[in-house]
Amino acid sequence: MSHRFADVPDDQQLTKPLRSDLTAVTYQRFAVDVVSGDDAGARATSEGEELSIGTARGNGLVLTDRSVSRHHCIITATADGFRIKDLDSTNGVKLGGFKVEAAFLKTGASFKLGRTKLRFAALDEHVSEPVSPEEAFGGVLGRSAAMRRIFAVLPRVAATDTTVLVEGETGTGKTLLASAIHDASPRRDGPFMVVDCGAVTGSLIESHLFGNARGAFTGATEARDGAFVAATGGTVLLDEVGELPLELQPKLLRVLEERVVTPLGTTRQVPIDVRVIAATNRDLREEVNRGRFRADLFYRLHVVRLRVPPLRERPDDVEVLARHFWSECAPGRALPDDLLTTWRQLRWSGNVRELRAAVDRAILLGGLEEARGEDRGPASYDPNLSFRALKEQIVERFERDYLGRLFEDNDRNISQTARAARMDRNHLRELLRKHGVL
């Protein structure tokens, strides 16, 4: 992202750390000072929306304290204030003597990471990032400043072969964004291949990526090219790369660094000519801290990072997306104003995918309740389903609706939600991921 520093006149000083208008997104800068510990005297100042702190290279503030995790925490300038968030570090973030997963900071606030004490300060300086005047990039739509900020950098990103990491919750449109980058790139005439790293496991995912010889494993009745060879001249999207098995990650790293693949069951090395885009609904920094994702692979993928914000953070996009989906499915029919009013007020935990489903329901079924996806009862009788299958549907719907709403009511804080639901935090995390809420 390119930044420009702005001198804001006294009568236009920001009342919030983040502000947006038709031309730019403007952030209030902040600084973090190391008060005591191995790195006492060190200082880092934000250059944009976020400042990361940890021992790994690439952080905005790099510490040497061994009780600090590689990617320990981040501080983000938001419309609601400066928010510090623990990245599932080993020793946590302590604020006021208590461990916190996330909290808002005021100037002068002190916090501890391991044995290191730090102090936060908001500055009377601001940094701006330009936004695109366009409300679309390829097939990706967005009127909000958050999306047009992404659109502003995409032409430069698309023009190169740089590896891109696209982050965002399930249903935000990461695959569509990756496809738009491919379509705007010099590789547009080549294949665009998607490999879902979470859909297949073991030797099958290795075969999907790198190819295999005949007889390389049970069921390999013929030789096949993997995605990296089949997409020659084009782009490979590693979807949900955070799900890639740990034992396969060194092989992927080697492919990205050496630009050759070795198909399963062979010793020959095949050169590749592809661009790589990776997508994930997880924060890979947290996965590195948990030991579930290799740090070296993370650095190799994290060349250009694009975060697609959830729909609840960009309510301005609800109308433009709803009208687009409606015109696709029901050309010539007007979108009812009461539906649009209702949709603007919803949180959309399933993001754009959920909105698209709501539009489809409204067109097919009609009526406000159906359009919102509200349940009229515990379940519908279906003689084609067994007792067990129908029961599973009811339980899944209950889990998704109850936990999704409870998660939102508790500001998407897992610990708070677990306490409110009186359930184990790890089990809650698994269910939220299962239903695409996390």
**Type of residue numbered 306:** L
Interatomic CA distance for residues 205 and 332, integer angstroms = 44
> What is the dotted CATH code of the domain comprising 24-127?
2.60.200.20
Helices 316-329 and 337-345 cross at an angle (nearest 10°) of 140
CA dihedral 198, 203, 204, 207 (to 10 degrees): 110
- Say what the pLDDT of residue 376 is: 39
Question: What's the pTM value of the predicted model, to 2 decimals?
Answer: 0.79
* CATH class (in words) of the domain with range 136-307: alpha beta
Residues of the chain with pLDDT below 70 are 1-16, 18-22, 202-203, 215-221, 366-385, 389-390, 393
Report yes or no: 192 and 231 within 8 Å, Cβ to Cβ. yes
- Say what the pLDDT of residue 218 is: 65
How many other β-carbons are positioned within 10 Å of the β-carbon of residue 218? Answer: 7
Interatomic CA distance for residues 379 and 288, integer angstroms = 41
- Say what the pLDDT of residue 206 is: 85
Closest to 371 in 3D by CA, of 403, 336, 327, 330: 336
- Say what the pLDDT of residue 412 is: 82
- Say what the pLDDT of residue 427 is: 82
CA dihedral 387, 389, 391, 393 (to 10 degrees): -150
Interatomic CA distance for residues 406 and 412, integer angstroms = 8
